[in-house]
Structure 1
Amino acid sequence: MTNPENDSYRNQLLRRLDPGDLGLLQPHLELCDLEPKTTLEKADSEIETVYFLEDGIASVVATASGKEAEVGLVGFEGMTGAALVMGADYAAHQCYVQSAGSAFRMGTEPFKEALANSPTLRLFLLRYVHYFHIQTSYTALINAKSNLEERLARWLLMCDDRVHGERLAITHEFLAVMLGARRPGVTVGLQVLEGRGFIYSRRGEVHIRDRSGLAACANGTYGKPEADYVRLVGL
């Protein structure tokens, strides 16, 4: 449930904070634009800034031996800097902007100070961190066991949850990185989904035409983490 004092925010965490906890963060929150490919966190580096996304999408990307794949998505439902909530001060993976948007940002030190001064703030944000771990664990399972069309359908649904309208600005090259797949396979996967009438794809963007069809195509890979978010954080 949101509080009237929080209604000026679109970010679902800020909207649901206890007014006292929001008061600890609010003096340090600064609205900023997020341009595509902007780095929000560097792998194995100290976290300098926390971002509460208002719109747009950030991707958490793991890298090993020159290979990379997306392991998590963050939109207006969440935040970066989750490691700080758990007492760490560095990021395990890279996080960068996938789709342009905006966010409220604040420095690490005032954020850690707020956590230290309010046990209720940490407890609430830990619920989001738990959801994010559920999301990433499902991504690992699905990337290992599901076919490309199912993975692609799930990913498009997750992005659609986090953007305004039905248009996703995305290239085949970027999709290949996000799914840990080869670009030709992604192209074929998009053609299959388009042939079934679920999407319309053209250079640099994808339009969602049939969410229910995409959900059926995802074959059970979409929905469980989303339901856990509602249970842990709220609608």
Structure 2
Amino acid sequence: MPTKTTPHPQQNHLLAALSPEVQARLFPHLELVSLQLNSVMYESGRPMRHVYFPTDAIVSLQYIMENGAATAILVVGNEGLLGISLFMGGASTPNRSLVQSAGHAYRLPRPQVKEEFKRHGQLLQLMLRYTQALITQVAQTAVCNRHHSIDQQLCRWLLLSMDRLTHNNLSMTQEFMANMLGVRREGVTHAAIKLQQQGAITYSRGHIKVLDREQLEALSCECYEVVKKETELLLPYLPQRQVITNVAAIPVVVLPTTKA
């Protein structure tokens, strides 16, 4: 049987964009964490002790209403990090962070984050640019939820997810998708069936496979393209994705998923 390889920190593109000098300071403090589907990374109002750099997982940030209803406001994957509130001056977040695609992330303790920030160097610059990209994603999500159909919203969300994965498969139920979009389950079911009939995806028992990305882009609204262009502009390191080979092993501690 093939052996599973341990994800490397440089599979996260923001960490990979750091200079060797900065990596040498931060990488010894990184801890590898396994992220299980539907597990909660940050809970609303709880203190934050780490920032997370996903390597092959996707995390959705959700706003939770008083009645328990939830809507995803952005997704985070290997392009950046989870936990901007920690370095923007806050100790907690009003949102819940939920794993929507299982995988791994490296987490960096709060003291090391703040110590590196005090240097006012490369990590600070990259994180601020990444924060601006997230602001664009949140703003465009609000516009999309208000003005575009469920079909278009689902296409946008699938495309954003595909941008953060190295494969074209997603595992999630219709109920989960409905919570992500903040709509009724029936609406997501109808939209998924239409996409399947058009040959863009296949969907069965909580498993989605994207068959035709170009068709998804054609069926999506302009919101996806706006977010994509702004992200590429702010994060020029993203297109330069390199396969990591012959990288020296870094000692890491593999931990179970825990709340931050």
Give me the TM-score of the superposition, normalised by structure 2: 0.84
CA distance in 2, matches of 1:8, 1:86: 23
Name the structure 1 match of 2:180: 178
Secondary structure (helix, strand or coil) at the match of 2:215 reads helix
Secondary structure (helix, strand or coil) at the match of 2:11 reads coil
Cα distance, 1:120–1:162 mapped onto 2, change above 3 Å = closer
Name the structure 2 match of 1:33: 34
Name the structure 2 match of 1:223: 225
Q: Retained in 2: the 8 A contact 1:85–1:126?
A: no
CA distance in 2, matches of 1:225, 1:84: 24
Higher strand share: 1
Moved more, 53-62 or 88-97: 88-97
CA positional deviation for 1:8? 5.8
Work out which of the residue numbers 146, 153, 156 in structure 2 matches 1:154.
156
CA distance in 2, matches of 1:125, 1:219: 28
Secondary structure (helix, strand or coil) at the match of 1:135 reads helix
CA positional deviation for 1:38? 2.0
CA positional deviation for 1:26? 1.3
Name the structure 1 match of 2:215: 213
Q: Retained in 1: the 8 A contact 2:202–2:208?
A: yes
**Structure 1: stretches of 5+ with no match in the other structure:** 1-6
After the TM superposition, which residues 73-152 of structure 1 pair with which residues of structure 2 at under 5 Å, given as runs? 73-152=75-154
Instruction: Give, as a single letter, the amino acid of the residue that structure 2 aligns with 1:216.
Output: A
CA positional deviation for 1:109? 1.8
Moved more, 73-82 or 119-128: 119-128
Secondary structure (helix, strand or coil) at the match of 1:229 reads helix
Name the structure 2 match of 1:65: 66
Higher helix share: 1
Q: Retained in 2: the 8 A contact 1:17–1:121?
A: yes
CA positional deviation for 1:9? 1.0
Cα distance, 1:93–1:151 mapped onto 2, change above 3 Å = same
Return the structure number with greater relative CO, CA threshold 8 A, min gap 6.
2
Secondary structure (helix, strand or coil) at the match of 2:44 reads coil
Moved more, 175-184 or 80-89: 80-89
Name the structure 1 match of 2:251: none
Secondary structure (helix, strand or coil) at the match of 1:76 reads coil
Give me the TM-score of the superposition, normalised by structure 1: 0.93
Name the structure 1 match of 2:167: 165
Say yes or no: does 1:193 pair with 2:195.
yes
Instruction: Give, as a single letter, the amino acid of the residue that structure 1 aligns with 2:167.
Output: G
Secondary structure (helix, strand or coil) at the match of 1:191 reads helix
Summarize deviations over 1:69-126 as a string: whole Å, max 9, x none: 1001011111111112322221121112111101111211221121113433212210
Instruction: Give, as a single letter, the amino acid of the residue that structure 2 aligns with 1:36.
Output: L
Identity of aligned residues (%): 32
Summarize deviations over 1:121-154 as a string: whole Å, max 9, x none: 2122100011011111101110111000000111
CA positional deviation for 1:22? 2.2
CA positional deviation for 1:168? 0.9
Secondary structure (helix, strand or coil) at the match of 2:57 reads strand
CA positional deviation for 1:231? 1.1
Q: Retained in 2: the 8 A contact 1:21–1:118?
A: no
Name the structure 2 match of 1:3: none
Name the structure 1 match of 2:205: 203
Cα distance, 1:23–1:70 mapped onto 2, change above 3 Å = same
Q: Retained in 2: the 8 A contact 1:40–1:49?
A: no
Instruction: Give, as a single letter, the amino acid of the residue that structure 2 aligns with 1:158.
Output: L
After superposing on structure 2, the runs of 4+ consecutive aligned residues of structure 1 that deviate more than 4 Å are none
**Structure 2: stretches of 5+ with no match in the other structure:** 1-7, 240-260
